Amino acid sequence: MPNKTIYVSDGDLPIYDRAQAIAGGNLSAAIAKALRRYVDVEDGRREGFDEITVRVGPKARRKVRFTGVLLGTFGNNSTAIHVYRSRSGKFVIHTQRTGDYTARDADGKPAGWRSWLGLGDYTWAGSTGESTLEVVDTVEELRAKIPPELFDLVAATAKQPAVEDLDI
């Protein structure tokens, strides 16, 4: 196996020591893993893709990350849907649902618009929402999974390259 020598400045030595400790003593494996991730992200960026990080699950606590480009967004009072094309050509549907919310006035009646404006004495309660992530292989598979108006936008956008190089 070939050897490579890496020169480390005194100022960077603590980060190398920390990486080696995290990697269980195998600094070479840590460096290779970091370089693989760096090359993947930079290659994707040069192809016009971004690193996307979204929250998923109940209360949207878990984060997931992928390389992609946003194709379209749809929303209403309780739901937001984002559709991405991944670097591998698959389609990613990220759906965010808001939690329940209620406001009551001092008499226990629904507070209505006054609560939105902060007028009067009221209490409120809310729950966190949920977010999901679904991956499909083709544009046609999206049709049954997203609203028709979003599908029309995404289907038209999906045919376009992430980046178009102009010779000007």
What DSSP element (H or E) covers 8? Answer: none
Q: What is the mean pLDDT of the chain?
A: 87
Q: Which long-range contacts does 160-165 make (Cβ < 8 Å, 24+ apart)?
A: 161/48, 162/47, 162/48, 162/49, 162/69, 162/85, 163/47, 163/48
DSSP state for residue 110 in the 8-state scheme: B
CB atoms within 10 A of CB 116: 10
For the entire predicted model, the pTM comes to: 0.70
CB atoms within 10 A of CB 163: 12
- pLDDT tens string 57-88: 887 788 999 999 999 999 987 899 999 999 89
Q: Give the pLDDT confidence of 134-151 residue by residue, as tens digits.
A: 999 999 999 999 999 999
Q: Measure the CA–CA gap between 87 and 44, rounded to whole angstroms.
A: 7
Domain positions in the chain are: 10-46, 49-158
**What local confidence, expressed as pLDDT, does residue 78 receive?**
82
| Helix, strand, or coil (residue 116) | helix
DSSP calls for 34-86: HHHHHHHHHHHHHTT-EEEEEEEEETT-EEEEEEEEEEEEEE-SSEEEEEEEE
